[in-house]
Amino acid sequence: MPKLHGAARDVHPIQKKEKMHLETLTQRIVSKRSERGFVTDPLKLHVLLSEEVGEIAGELKKLWSKNYAAFESEKLSEEIADVFCLLAALANEFDIDIEEAVEAKFFKADESRAWKTAVQQGNTADGQTAAPDL
């Protein structure tokens, strides 16, 4: 594992509060964005989303580069929140339920794919451990 720069070694998970349902959170995001007069055009949302993903990359770059300020998980958390809010806004514009979409794609449709990474780690598609090739 590469040596990490700055406070990266001290990354701690965010303390958990009572969890909100994803649908409720999405609607709160959409309502607050509307209240603030934020854009709803899908193409503009995509541009903003791309910008925020780049800001995540900028924060992660601090993990190894000595040319930037020390990594702070709080700043990464803020950028991840921005990305999530924009994804929620984009999904809302097309009446996409994020939870249903993730269930259908990630947990169902992708389940039948052969994942080379799973095989490399000794796992089969059905979650069983495969015997390593000798």
* Per-residue model confidence as pLDDT tens digits over 38-73: 999 999 999 999 999 999 999 999 999 999 999 999
Question: Domain residues for 71?
Answer: 21-97
Lowest-confidence segment of 19-23, 70-74, 102-106 by average pLDDT = 19-23
Q: Distance of alpha carbon 2 from its chain centroid, rounded? A: 22
* Separation between Cα atoms, residue 54 and residue 56, nearest integer Å: 5
- Answer yes or no: is 55 within a domain: yes
* Separation between Cα atoms, residue 22 and residue 28, nearest integer Å: 10
Q: What tokens does 18 get?
A: 């009572």
- Answer yes or no: is 88 within a domain: yes
- Answer yes or no: is 68 within a domain: yes
Which CATH number goes with the domain that contains 38? 1.10.287.1080
- Answer yes or no: is 128 within a domain: no
Number of domains the chain is built from: 1
pTM: 0.75
Report which of 85, 46, 110 is spatially closest to residue 118, judged by C-alpha positions: 110
